[in-house]
Structure 1
């Protein structure tokens, strides 16, 4: 998702308007159909995938249940620089942006890593934007606190000691000496209810600046969570594919039967579509957040639906074994819903996207009326 690489390929070396035209063409392609990555971004994705492949096998995921948190994996991820990937270098991070967070989140989902990296990376960026120095404390945010005041079901809330939230007209930080008890859930996610009256409350920002910072953080959380869910779905399909190749029936692998192969192809296409929408949303959030503010909500709504549907079909590929807790595919199936829930269901996400979508459609209608093209 690079602007520079495409501009260099298109540019003529001339000054003035020809360079700007090349930039405009490059941006247009990036907006609509270019989901390619920098070499550095590909290296980041591959590095995180190798790290989690070694540090987070299925045994580690199971051992972290039911709390859904592995302190040793968190420590190793911090030492590897993954925890601070989205922070500026002067803040002790790796200097990455939303796209880099999305790439890490996808690998977290693919490995089902029992660490609250998505919410921590986003909340840390929010606090850094307010000039807060990072420390070793796990932080999270309450993504629905603006729409639903009161007690909040916080992602990573069972291990976080600080949570950013929207209360009234203020951006606040809730702090506790110890996290609250985990909210019971079949997905073994470290969810917990945070109540506004518990612990310490600090006002971080007010007014327009507070609203802008909060909107940015929620958008980043949605697109990063969508990426984690798309990665989860990708991991589920990979498990189902490997099982279908190895499982023998009627003299050959079950992958040769159309009922299996077509299911896997459909699932693979759904995952690829979800990933493309996530990458597009991430590009806009990082480069032009005001241009398409509805995309993070769309990306999360779609990824949540895809993850649950793909996981269910991957379970079916495994037959009766897939319904048992001993099957690794069950780890994906149970987490698909648990990871989706804190971000809001389809109705909430559609409501969040509706105003921006209405403005976009109005603008397109005006363009058509003026004789322009979409």
Structure 2
């Protein structure tokens, strides 16, 4: 019998059989769960997220941690919860369940188009996606029969506080800006750290970033006026100093279990534009190119203003592209000493 003809059911002592399609968005990994799960009940994505966390958290650990994962984001495709939406997403990484993930949303749309789940046509195809932070509008752009980019209108974002002093062990006093895009970012200018946000400095920035996250959650109280479940700082974004009207910038994002986002970070790009607009350094509809630590970039702009619970908010549009890298069936041996993976 050829190995290529094997199915999971023929492998004795193995279970689960979770099917994923992996991709990368501007260099950042996404593992999209497309098969092997029973229906996830719930009339909202927040309820579905809570159900998965309660009943399937072992799968998050198995798929995101070594020896099967790499600490990056995985996402589960679900039926939509709104009639106009095409599908829903539950995001997860090696530490938590993010409320929103931009690069993974791009990866999911590209994957579902490439696998035939979503139909697109020449020009722009509107694809609403349900997330734990609300419905997010995405648009797939097809040029001469080829999918070339996915644009997302992110959920509304706002600045909670600027120039908040934080005592960071091993570093000292640091100013952070708190921006919410689904969940909360601690924004840190490289002018303060003296460290450029590039891949060569990833180790020192990762260590500092995790200390900032821990210190922020000990010293700062954050809240979302409409979503009480959002009450922690989960991500740090180090960004290079911005010149007014420059129209471009660079940054490095740290999240999860000391993971560096290889992409410019979709939600991080929205967070940066939200902060720059708050500081009157970028205008509505002004194009902006945000580059990540690998030199890959997302194109972005702010498309509208609104108010959320008394806070001035904006909606950012972020565009990028993803590339499918593999199709996998993940199995668990009954005798595997690492059923929930491990972290180094």
TM-score (ref. length: structure 1): 0.28
Structure index of larger Rg: 1
Greater share of helix: 1
Higher relative contact order (CA 8 A, sep 6+): 2
TM-score (ref. length: structure 2): 0.30
